[in-house]
Structure 1
Amino acid sequence: MLVDQLWDLAHIPRAESLICDLGPSFPELAATIGDGRGVVASVQHRGGAPSAGGEGIWWWRDDIPSGFPFLGEGMRVRLMPLLEGVPCRVHGMVLNGRTAVFPPLELLSLPRPDRGTFLWAGAVPLGRTEPELEKAARRAGAFLDGAFAYRGPFAADGILTAYGFLPTELTTRLTSAFEGSDPFVRVMLHAATILARENADLPAIEELAAAALTSSRIDIYGLATRASEDASECSLAWAADGPHLSAQPVHGHMTLRPWVRGWQLHARLNLADLPGRPVGMYAPQLFALADKTFGTDFGTVTPPFGVTVPAPRLP
């Protein structure tokens, strides 16, 4: 939980935060950091490895969720104010003498109001350049180089707010965002990671990363613990009021299949056919359709904080 100190040392603006034990004073500390805006709490066992996919992260506007792990022993909590904006990720690679910055991504980290948690639904192209994201990535790369002589990939996650990009997490690896890309490109990027550690010059790395992270199709995922069908696939068409089942895959398809911990929903959509950006505005409608069609238990899922779906326009 030292990432906030790293942002400070790298001179990258961030949101305020507070790290504490999960003890009797926790509710008061949470109220202080939230300051009426709401709170996001990342819970981790002391000395434990970081989690992924939104596990161990809670949020609330007023009351702490009933499922929050108050009784956990040896727990540490990182508290931050609830930020409104688009969750984003920017990858980079520290090379000998420069930092390569890759195309930015939108993170589909969708709030679950009934649970006070998040549904992790994947990463999709942001669809535009953001100078603040690039600036943060270059500063992070320069810091990793200067402070640790680091070579290789990294990723900075955060929220693109009305006041700029505020980072929340730093990862020194290629993330799961590359899993849906062409296998050949993934192998080439893995080779580039190894070569970067040997100070190799990689002039085409940005082009290679762009091939992996920019696409006309997007993939949205979700894990459910319950479903009324073991496996199924349906075609989708997008209308003014959201996605509908279709006889033909007009705008994409949605698949449900058994998974390690229940069922995995996978929707593959044509990006140009969606009503607009950010994708997080419309992704919750897919999970509502999945519950109706497959009997899954995603429940109420909403767009990211501060992101609202525009009302349909009358013809």
Structure 2
Amino acid sequence: MLDQVVAVLRRRLGSENVIVFCSQHEEVPAWEQLLKTAGVSSALVLAFDGPQLSPLLAHPSHREAGELVAARHALLGTLARRSPLAEMADDFDPARRAVLLVTDPLDPREVGDRHLFGAKHPSWSFVEHKSVVDTVWDVMGVDRAESVALDRPGTLLRPDGLAPTGIVASWQRLGEAPVAGGSGIRTTLTEIDDGRFRVRIMPHLTGRPCRLHGLTSADTTVVFPPLELLVPQRREGGSFLCAGAAPLSAPEQAPLTALTRRLGDQLRACLAYRGGFSVDGILTPDGFRPTDLNTRVTSALESLPATVRVAVHACALAARAGLINLPGSTLGRYVAHAFRETGELLIRAPFPDNDRVAREPVRWFGSTLISAGRTEPHGVIEVGPGARGAILTARLRHADLPEGLDCQAASIAVFEAADRLLGATYGPLKAPGGADPQQANQHRRR
């Protein structure tokens, strides 16, 4: 499969000088090897969390995902003027003829004189706005939940009057980009700071949060395994904690795989879209209902080896650059195999104490995670520095998960253990369920 990726890149980048900006330092060797095999003349691969770039970014302290993206865009913008980053690039490429590869989720608008390979069309990011995307579903003919987008409602709407299932409100400040992650999503209308907002309100659907994702090019759609999103809900305040994703069971995947392909084909037909994409939504008793569109390769691939992530990012950039004959179904099978072989459930979220470093081997005691002590651990919970501040990372072996314990419950067990063993303050969490399906049916839109 990698040979096919190499062949695609060689068509456009062979004999070129290349500068790559990627998210994670562990991806650098995979990028260097891929580009060398593709025949590039020379390559400089820089990771935002690596030794060259991290000193150029402000010290993180519980940044939201959107703030992290903005900080990295600002750093890339310094390529257009005299700056430490511009000097670094000029030392490698004094003539400023190198091709720039910037991986998702970044979408820089200013990078100086060098050519940006696979730049996104602005309209592709526009349709991510939560007050816009429902129109996209309607144009595509995709079943969705009823919703309404309006200015910040104040007391105009009462949460208990909109739907007996409760609501989910997505907030976005006027004039700003969509909020990344779950920080702008609430089940109440009263806990957002003062300001001018647009709000999309919809019923709190009954079902499982899912992500359909893949990659579309000018001539094909690649489908990756559908995932269940691990998003425990805080009992106080109604916000969600984005903690990772896990593949759905094989019987559940088949119909969602077909829907993913249809969505990718429709994105290409309706928006001339190319690149990685994901559609988040709820798998209800009546089928999948989309809620969000991401026009990028997402963090759902973080549990996969760096070589796999790099192959996907390379194909996404090639697709956005208009290249055809991508690996297609081969790439889909490659990613599916990587998910099957991980053997671990990866759970990750910001940690409240920005200066904490800790490592706690854990094991299951019923459905509770306890310190492993001197016994064989079933996984580990770690706290360490990350791009957004301190990050809690839990790795639990699938083979050791208690029988009957689903991934949502396992993620909640991780945060309960972090509070108990590491002094975190995540607080009481619950699974992101909805209300009675018969009540939800009253507010379903066909």
* Shorter-normalised TM range: 0.7 to 0.9
Q: Would you say 1:226 and 2:353 are equivalent positions?
A: yes
Query: SS at 1:107's partner residue?
Result: strand
Query: SS at 1:117's partner residue?
Result: coil
1:260 Cα deviation (Å)? 5.7
| Pick aligned residue for 2:166 from 38, 41, 44 | 38
Q: For residue 382 of structure 2, what is the aligned residue in structure 1?
A: 255
Single out whichever of 204-213 and 6-15 deviates more from structure 2.
Answer: 204-213
Q: Would you say 1:201 and 2:323 are equivalent positions?
A: no
Cα offsets for 1:144-190 (capped at 9, x unmatched): 11112222221011111222111111111110112232111111112
Cα–Cα, structure 1 residues 51 and 249, in superposed 2: closer, same or farther, change >3 Å? farther
Equivalences for 1:120-269 in 2 at 5 Å? 120-128=242-250, 129-196=252-319, 197-203=322-328, 204-214=330-340, 215-226=342-353, 230-246=356-372, 247-259=374-386, 263-269=390-396
| Pick aligned residue for 1:8 from 110, 118, 138 | 138
**TM-score after normalising by structure 2:** 0.62
Query: SS at 1:201's partner residue?
Result: coil
Query: SS at 1:191's partner residue?
Result: helix
CA distance in 1, matches of 2:308, 2:266: 28
1:143 Cα deviation (Å)? 1.4
Cα offsets for 1:28-73 (capped at 9, x unmatched): 4x4443x21101111111121112220111114xxx55xx12x522
CA distance in 2, matches of 1:238, 1:143: 44
State whether residues 217 and 323 of structure 2, in contact with CA within 8 Å, keep that contact through their aligned partners in structure 1: no
CA distance in 2, matches of 1:20, 1:32: 16
Q: For residue 106 of structure 2, what is the aligned residue in structure 1?
A: none
| Pick aligned residue for 2:157 from 13, 19, 27 | 27
Higher strand proportion: 1
Unaligned segments of structure 2, at least 5 residues: 1-130, 436-446
AA at the equivalent of 1:20: L
CA distance in 2, matches of 1:54, 1:109: 8
Cα offsets for 1:289-308 (capped at 9, x unmatched): 1111111110111112159x
CA distance in 2, matches of 1:184, 1:205: 12
AA at the equivalent of 2:280: D
State whether residues 229 and 246 of structure 2, in contact with CA within 8 Å, keep that contact through their aligned partners in structure 1: yes
1:241 Cα deviation (Å)? 3.4
Single out whichever of 142-151 and 290-299 deviates more from structure 2.
Answer: 142-151
Cα–Cα, structure 1 residues 205 and 41, in superposed 2: closer, same or farther, change >3 Å? same
CA distance in 1, matches of 2:226, 2:408: 15
CA distance in 1, matches of 2:376, 2:347: 16
Cα–Cα, structure 1 residues 226 and 195, in superposed 2: closer, same or farther, change >3 Å? closer
Cα–Cα, structure 1 residues 233 and 84, in superposed 2: closer, same or farther, change >3 Å? same
CA distance in 1, matches of 2:169, 2:156: 11
Q: For residue 310 of structure 1, what is the aligned residue in structure 2?
A: none
1:132 Cα deviation (Å)? 3.7
Unaligned segments of structure 1, at least 5 residues: 308-315
CA distance in 1, matches of 2:415, 2:263: 35
Cα–Cα, structure 1 residues 259 and 191, in superposed 2: closer, same or farther, change >3 Å? closer
**How well do the aligned residues superpose, as a CA RMSD in angstroms?**
2.2
Paired residue total: 298
CA distance in 2, matches of 1:249, 1:12: 48
| Pick aligned residue for 1:54 from 170, 173, 182 | 182
State whether residues 126 and 278 of structure 1, in contact with CA within 8 Å, keep that contact through their aligned partners in structure 2: no
State whether residues 351 and 383 of structure 2, in contact with CA within 8 Å, keep that contact through their aligned partners in structure 1: no
Runs of 4+ aligned residues of structure 1 deviating over 6 Å after TM superposition are: none
AA at the equivalent of 2:276: P
CA distance in 1, matches of 2:297, 2:338: 12
1:24 Cα deviation (Å)? 4.0
CA distance in 2, matches of 1:154, 1:260: 23
1:194 Cα deviation (Å)? 2.5
Higher helix proportion: 2
- The structure with the larger Rg is 2
CA distance in 1, matches of 2:325, 2:376: 44
State whether residues 96 and 199 of structure 1, in contact with CA within 8 Å, keep that contact through their aligned partners in structure 2: yes
CA distance in 2, matches of 1:116, 1:240: 28
1:234 Cα deviation (Å)? 1.4
Identity across aligned pairs (percent)?
37
State whether residues 315 and 326 of structure 2, in contact with CA within 8 Å, keep that contact through their aligned partners in structure 1: no
Q: For residue 294 of structure 1, what is the aligned residue in structure 2?
A: 422
Cα–Cα, structure 1 residues 151 and 162, in superposed 2: closer, same or farther, change >3 Å? same
Query: SS at 2:165's partner residue?
Result: coil
State whether residues 254 and 266 of structure 1, in contact with CA within 8 Å, keep that contact through their aligned partners in structure 2: yes
Query: SS at 1:169's partner residue?
Result: strand
